[in-house]
Chains A and B, each alone.
Chain A
Amino acid sequence: MNVDKRPVIFIILATLSILVGTLATTFIPLFVGTTTPSIANVIPYKPLELEGRDIYIREGCNNCHTQTVRPLPFETARYGSYSMLEESAIDRPHLWGSKRTGPDLAHVGRKYPAVWHTMHLKNPRSMYPDSNMPAYPWLADRNLDTRYTEKKMKVLGYPYTAADMKALQGKTEMDALVAYLLRLGKELRQ
């Protein structure tokens, strides 16, 4: 049988070839414990932190920052303990990143207070004159859009209280982003 004379059979065979590796390396892992850890120990996102995370995504911070520390000595010396599966277990999407134009942020929440982040985001060059990170001063002028917050929490299945929702009132986009940054590295219950 000459498959190159039979397009339908050819398409079926090509599809099957593509599906073998797909099933083995991406589909099966979805259902095994080693890639899907228990989330019992993970502290869910607060609504404000979640909104901050969405601003991180909107601004594309992940184009310059990774959020995963490799288990290599020079790396843990710089960024602290190496990343564990649990730490990102509830993240949809993940934000591990692929390029470190700036430093890794997996544990940055342990490093600075809120006011440092606000100043840095308003103008990174006030801290490091040679930094190439964009300045985000306008985040402090924009009120947080909370129209979809509750729906987001529900879709992601994160628990929240009325007080959590109330805490969103009067917050700016800067407040939300900083709240998110402060959480990084504190995902797990001690």
Chain B
Amino acid sequence: MPQENTYDYRAVKGFAISSLFWGVVGLLIGILISLQLVYPQLNFTSWLTYGRLRPIHTNALIYGFTIPAAFSLFFYLVQRLGRAPLAFPGLAQVTLYVFNIAIVLAALSLFAGMNTSKEYSELEWPLDIGVVVLWVMFSINIIGTIMKRREEQMYVSLWFILATVVGVAIVYIGNNLGVPVSWFKSYSIYAGANDANVQWWFGHNAVAFVFTTLPLAVFYYILPKATGAPLYSHRLSIIGFWSLVFAYLWTGAHHLVYTPLPDWIQTVAIAFSLFLIAPSWASVINGYGTMNGQWEQMRSNYLVKFIVMGITFYGLQTLQGPSQAVRAFSALIHYTDWVPGHVHMGTMGWVTMTISAGFYYMLPRIYKTELYSVKLADLHFWLVLVGQLIYSVTMWITGIRQGAMWQAVNPDGSLAYPNFIQTLTPNYPFWNMRAAGGVIFFAGFLVFVYNIAQTIRQAPQRRPS
């Protein structure tokens, strides 16, 4: 068995710090755009208008925060679970530098308005090539390390890591195929309904492989480690894994309910969306099963709080998502603020909480120290929890309200609120509350960053005995 010091954690550390940095940037922009929706005078100049900032918010938090968190945690997990050092540590360092350069260029290009308009695929083609190159460099290290492993059996987390590696590559390339007209502009190779269909096949599987398999890999590792209890059911995780990676790809068109896209594609997507409850809940049940007899740890163990609250929001998210796919409910909430409510329960609840648990577990270990402050970790937990709940609940309320106002008709059949603005302005108080929720969440995130920074800074003096 290799000695602890043969593991290479330099890129693990670098990506963790990059992730936290871009996380702060993305959240600040999130707060700004949430305020712009109520105070349009905050659209200061062309490159700070809402239309340009919203993609920067989403890209910063997907590609700037979540992806490098995965690079960091996955480089750690493949070494620990395979009991082998990283295959190409030099390449990992290069990946780190190229990654940060690419994110800076991505932000600048989006500020300048260079975008393809396709959600979460906004980056123009030279940066797409950059993303693919980065992904290949990352994959070589992940697969290379797994090939060299000394532990024959691959633990569940490694399956989810491999699914992420393959899945992101397929959907990202598939959706970004285009014809360039200049360095800064290209046109999709797909047209009309096909373009929409491919876009949301990508969109929903960005959810599958960035916001689902990625945190699940972390979840399956941290949960038994944090609780000290063995995973509830290995068999359940096998069934859950294969049915999840099979079913997700069929569901993209639930984003296109009642559009001109042919009905059969919508119906297939809705059916598979309902089916997805089963593989999603396989992980939730595995989580709760593992907690059996351990629930007391929800009070005493900060890691357990994050990981169990995270999987709880995942459970809620995967019940809410399928119901949104059903035509009758889609008719009410599609295009309203209900959807950002859904999105942020997943991202602020499930994804961020799980990544936080991963960092809290991993970083003190690789810096050979202890967490700076458990009290601050608890404070972090409560702030992000309250912030997220305020965000989601206010958006669900105003989403239903707006959906209902769009539908309302007078007895004579005419629209009760014929002017769109009548349905818009009642959002404002809710959007203000959402911004307040965002600020609370952001405060929690800053506590997190501070706690990690202090842990790293004091590591040389605080070696555990």
Binds A, one of B14-22, B114-122, B290-298, B368-376: B114-122
Asked whether A190 is an interface residue with its Cβ less than 8 Å from the other chain, the reply is no
Interface residues of B in 311-349 (CB under 8 A from A): 331, 334-336, 339-340
B462 on the interface (CB 8 Å rule)? no
Q: How far is the CA of A54 from the CA of B116 in the complex (A)?
A: 9
- Residues of A within 8 Å of B265, CB to CB, are 25, 29, 35
* A92–B191 CB distance below 8 A: yes
Provide the bound-state CA to CA distance between A102 and B153, in Å.
Answer: 53
Of B62-70, B160-168, B300-308, the segment with at least 4 beta carbons within 8 Å of chain A is B160-168
Q: Decide yes or no: A85 and B143 within 8 Å by CB, A17-B246, A78-B406 being known contacts.
A: no
Q: Which of A136-178 contact B (CB under 8 A)?
A: 136, 138, 147-148, 151-152, 155-156
Q: Report whether A59 and B192 are in contact in the complex, using a CB–CB cutoff of 8 Å.
A: no
Whether B250 lies near A62 (C-beta < 8 A) is no
Contact with A along B33-65 (1 / 0, CB 8 A): 000111010010010011110110000000000
Contact in complex: B40, A135 (CB < 8 Å): yes
Give the interface residue-count category, chain A. 35 or more
CA distance A141 to B270 in the complex (A): 47
Give Cα A124–Cα B194 distance, bound, in whole angstroms: 34
User: Given A26-B174, A132-B424, does the pair A91, B252 have CB atoms closer than 8 Å?
Assistant: no
Q: Is the interface of B mostly helix, strand, loop or mixed?
A: helix
Residues of A within 8 A of B (CB): 2, 4-5, 7, 10-11, 14-15, 17-22, 24-26, 29-30, 34-37, 54, 57-64, 66, 68, 70-75, 77-78, 83-85, 87-103, 124-125, 128, 130-136, 138, 147-148, 151-152, 155-156
Task: Give the interface of B toward A (CB within 8 A).
Answer: 36-38, 40, 43, 46, 49-52, 54-55, 113-119, 143, 146-147, 152-154, 159, 162-163, 165-167, 170, 174, 179, 181-182, 185, 187-199, 201, 242, 245-253, 255-256, 258-262, 264-265, 268-269, 272, 331, 334-336, 339-340, 406-409, 413-415, 418, 420-421, 424-425
7 A-B pairs with least C-beta separation: A60-B51, A21-B249, A58-B113, A70-B258, A134-B43, A21-B250, A100-B335
10 contacts between A and B (CB under 8 A): A10-B162, A14-B166, A14-B167, A25-B249, A34-B262, A60-B49, A62-B51, A89-B193, A94-B199, A136-B46
